[in-house]
Structure formats: C-alpha cells, structure tokens
C-alpha cells in the first residue's frame, strides 16, 4: 500500500468501511429494488420512497469519503463533516436495528444482522466522538 493511501485509510478504517458500505447498499438498492422490502428497511421504507433511500445512502457515503480525504487538509471542516457523517450513519443503522427488533417482537428469532447493526451504531458514535475531538477550530 502506498504511503499516501495508507495515510488516508489506516487511522480511520472503520469510517472508510462504513462509508463504502453505505454506497454499496445504495447501489444494491438500485440494482435490486426489492431489498427495501426486507425487515431492516421496514421503518425507513414506510417514511421515504425507494429513490430517496438510494440517494441518501450514496450521498452520505460519498460525503463521508470526501470528508475523510479532506480531513488532513482542513482541521476544521474535515472533522465536522466526518462527525456529521458518522451521526447520520449511526441514525441509519439504529433505524435498521429498530426495524428488526420490531419485526422480531412477535416471538420469532431476530435475524443475525441485529447484533451487527447494534455494533455499527456504537462504532459510528465513537467515530463521531473521535472526529469531534479532531476539530481544531477552537469553537
């Protein structure tokens, strides 16, 4: 791995993975629109049309990647956008987890994904906390 790529990726690997995951999920919904009928999307699909979900995922995933690249160049805006992206991610993953919990309340076993969404939520909250600590604006 080149030193330049390593500089951008190594310390923020979780954020990169989540950003790429958001974009990947948005693309998956474009290719396979029925994905939004799954239990994880129950709450989100009830509020937003499929197109909005696609755009949200791809937009915020792209915004997070841009923030990760800009982070080294701007000690003010990079961390702020990273924190906003991480909070958006935590909100998204929490919605997925709540949807699964809601579906499983009838006594059926919840899907294995429930524990992953739960871990992603706390990973994103920690990323937001860490990004807020990187903000050097003094405000």
Q: What is the pLDDT of residue 132?
A: 83
- Tracing tokens 């696609």 back to the chain, one arrives at 54
- pLDDT tens, residue order, the chain (139 aa): 676 666 666 678 899 999 999 999 999 999 999 888 888 888 888 888 877 889 989 998 998 888 888 776 777 777 888 888 899 899 989 998 888 888 777 777 777 788 898 999 999 999 999 888 876 665 5
Q: How many CA atoms lie within 13 A of 25 on its CB side?
A: 23
Q: What is the pLDDT of residue 114?
A: 84
Domain boundaries, given as residue ranges, for the chain: 3-134
CA distances from 66 to 38, 63, 78 (A): 30, 5, 8
């Amino acid at each position: 791995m080149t030193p330049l790529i390593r500089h951008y990726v190594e310390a923020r690997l979780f954020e990169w993975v989540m950003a790429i995951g958001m974009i990947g999920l948005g693309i998956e919904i474009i290719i396979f629109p029925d994905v939004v009928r799954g239990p994880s999307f129950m709450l989100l699909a009830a509020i937003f049309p499929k197109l909005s979900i696609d755009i949200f995922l791809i937009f915020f995933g792209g915004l997070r990647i841009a923030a990760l690249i800009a982070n080294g160049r701007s000690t003010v805006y990079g961390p702020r956008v990273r924190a906003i992206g991480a909070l958006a991610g935590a909100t998204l993953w929490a919605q997925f987890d709540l949807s699964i919990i809601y579906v499983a309340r009838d006594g059926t076993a919840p899907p294995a994904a429930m524990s992953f969404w739960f871990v992603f939520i706390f990973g994103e909250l920690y990323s937001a906390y860490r990004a807020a600590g990187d903000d050097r604006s003094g405000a």
